[in-house]
Amino acid sequence: MKKPSGIAILGSTGSIGRSTLAVIALHPERFKVAVLGAFSSWQVIVEQACEFNPEIIVLVDEAAAMKARAALRERGCSTKVESGARALAEAAGSGNVQMVMAAIVGAAGLQSTLAAVRAGKRVFLANKEALVMTGRLLMDEVRRAHAELIPIDSEHNAIFQCMPGGYLPGDVARGVTRVILTASGGPFRTTAASQMPHVTPDEACAHPKWKMGRKISVDSATLMNKGLEVIEATLLFGLPESQVDVVVHPQSVVHSLVEYADGSMLAQLGAPDMRTPIAQALAWPDRFASGVQSLDLLAMGPLGFETPDYVRFPCLTIARAAARAGGTAPTVLNAANEIAVQAFLDRRLNFVGISTVIDKVLQRLDAAPVTDLDDVWEADAAARRLAVTFIELSAGAPA
Ligand code: NAD
Ligand code: MG
């Protein structure tokens, strides 16, 4: 029997992290959880550590790490506890880790995702922001380090499954003329434009099909998630923005499609449950159970496809323009979005303000070439500063 693979789960306390551990629990002979990492949820990570017995857990927040250390000692667990972003990146690149689930949300995941890539690991990429903000740099590092990048995002995982056998992101997608990302349309698919300024964070996070963290839920409500995914697809599959289409598919059964030169279209279907793409990636190139039931085609009802409403959801238009501009434009887009979404969740900005702020930041900061990570972090910081200013200026303005 094969030796179990050492796996690090970065963002283990989040939605993707928990689903990953649920799949791993079904296959204890295949994986040895070596590292768990998160920001500050010490109670959750302590429970996970007691169940999966990793060598090390890392909480970026120092105070939370101290609490986890005390709790683990009390329970007689031998797991080592470290703190800080650097410790997390080091753990992701360590020798007893062969696979890394990159499931931290936002730009905060870049350092550890990059460390895993540079160490040549098999990286399961949920943290789409790390890819979007660095553009070609991350894919170049994958190639240089002979790492393997397997997409977890359900659409990109679906496309990966529909690619020719042996294909890995970064390879040329031979014979592929187009990829088509499906979008559920989010909670406001049929909401009138006049109602959009008044929607609340809780309404935005009540996604009709998927249960996810709050940041990506808001991204799904604005359709910025689909915009980020267009950019993610251009980078993973080496296609221009014009060859990445988006269709709204409210049933969320078809997770995405690949169109070939011969007129074939291949689609991947499944229940809207992230354990399926996670299991596909963990088992690749094999297949194993995920704990998800397969579809009942006869009970499913008709499937519909619609054009996205680019007027009510300007974030998709803005993201497409950033994809075409390239350079630092996706970095700026992602950073301004992170700031605007947090302001919306904190009730400092209304829903419509999210796209307005991102648009203004992109108008102000011209796209510049990206040659190294310093360019990325500079553009990221400039965009965040400007977004904060625009949000402060808009405070108190009528909805
Ligand atoms: P989540 O909010 O549920 O969890 C986020 C995780 O990241 C938590 O473990 C948290 O502790 C950790 N984290 C946050 N800030 C951190 C920091 N500064 N340093 C270290 N760790 C930090 O988010 P999620 O829904 O699981 O999403 C995670 C990523 O996966 C995102 O990039 C998201 O876009 C992507 N994704 C999620 C889904 C989904 O269904 N949830 C689907 C596709 C892609
Ligand atoms: Mg997705």
Encode pLDDT of 24-74 as tens digits: 999 999 999 999 999 999 999 999 999 999 999 999 999 999 999 999 999
Ligand having the closest approach to the CA of 212? 1
Spatial separation of the C-alpha atoms in residues 1 and 239, rounded to whole Å: 40
Spatial separation of the C-alpha atoms in residues 361 and 385, rounded to whole Å: 9
pLDDT at 1 over 90: no
**Which residue shows structure tokens 């550590």?**
49
Mean pLDDT of 107-121: 98
pLDDT at 376 over 90: yes
pLDDT at 396 over 70: no
Percent share of the chain, pLDDT over 90: 95
Percent share of the chain, pLDDT over 70: 99
Q: Is the domain 5-152 a CATH 3.40.50.720 member? A: yes
> What is the pLDDT at residue 198?
96
Mean pLDDT of 244-269: 98
CA 35 and chain centroid, separation: 20
Angle at 219 between CA 221 and CA 168, to 5 degrees: 125
- Closest residue by Cα to atom 42, ligand 1, is 153
Q: Quick one: which of 56, 25, 31, 57 has its CA closest to 290?
A: 25
Q: Cα(231) to centroid of ligand 2, in Å?
A: 12
Same fold flag, 5-152 and 176-393? no
Q: Cα(249) to centroid of ligand 2, in Å?
A: 13
Where helices occur in the chain by DSSP H, the ranges are 15-24, 42-52, 62-74, 85-92, 110-118, 128-134, 136-145, 154-162, 201-205, 214-222, 224-237, 275-283, 314-325, 329-345, 351-364, 373-394
pLDDT at 398 over 60: no
Question: Among 125, 210, 216, which is best to mutate for testing ligand 1, by the most ligand atoms less than 8 A from CB?
Answer: 216
pLDDT at 91 over 70: yes
> What is the pLDDT at residue 162?
98
pLDDT at 208 over 90: no
Domain positions in the chain: 5-152, 176-393
Q: Cα(215) to centroid of ligand 1, in Å?
A: 8
Assigned CATH topology for domain 176-393: Rna Polymerase Sigma Factor; Chain: A (1.10.1740)
Confidence grade of residue 150 (pLDDT, cut at 50, 70, 90)? very high
Q: Cα(17) to centroid of ligand 1, in Å?
A: 8
- Residue list, ligand 1 pocket, CB within 6 Å: 11-17, 38-39, 41, 60, 103-105, 108, 126-129, 153, 210, 212-213, 216, 274
Q: Cα(88) to centroid of ligand 1, in Å?
A: 15
Count of alpha carbons within 13 angstroms of residue 20, beta-carbon side: 32
Q: Do the Cβ atoms of 134 and 376 come closer than 8 Å?
A: yes
Spatial separation of the C-alpha atoms in residues 221 and 213, rounded to whole Å: 13
355: tokens are 């796209």
> What is the pLDDT at residue 222?
98
Encode pLDDT of 273-293 as tens digits: 999 999 999 999 999 999 999
Amino acid letter at 274? M
Encode pLDDT of 322-337 as tens digits: 999 999 999 999 999 9
